[in-house]
Amino acid sequence: SQQGEEDPQALSIQEGENATMNCSYKTSINNLQWYRQNSGRGLVHLILIRSNEREKHSGRLRVTLDTSKKSSSLLITASRAADTASYFCAPRAGNMLTFGGGTRLMVKP
């Protein structure tokens, strides 16, 4: 399976610090996507990185992709309490995404 696996499972930081989450997967992909889920809500798409890209930025988000290592990372800079949520990576192969168990991020004010 090309399921993404996030690491760490849980992360607790202070507001203003950076948060880094890692993702590993197993097979070749078309792209890799990161999603956020707030408690009691659906997943919200954050950023997509194509298989031929190595790094991508969106606001305070920075995503890297290393296809040789089958890994990706999501960096949130200058974190805010509102960033508290679960974060999922989702590698895409074919038409489907497969989601890992997520990283639960808590940002303390």
Amino acid at 82: A
| Binding region for another protein (CB under 8 A) out of 14-22, 45-53, 59-67, 69-77 | 45-53
Query: x/- contact string, 74-93, with another protein (CB under 8 A)?
Result: --------------x---x-
CB 64 within 8 A of CB 55: yes
CB 4 within 8 A of CB 89: yes
Nearer to another protein, 52 or 68 (CB): 52
E strand or H helix at 27, and its extent?
Answer: none
Residue 39 has a CB neighbour count (10 Å cut-off) of 8
Query: Is residue 45 a contact point for another protein (CB under 8 A)?
Result: yes
Identified binder of another protein from the candidate list 7, 15, 20, 99, rule CB under 8 A: 99
Query: Is residue 25 a contact point for another protein (CB under 8 A)?
Result: no
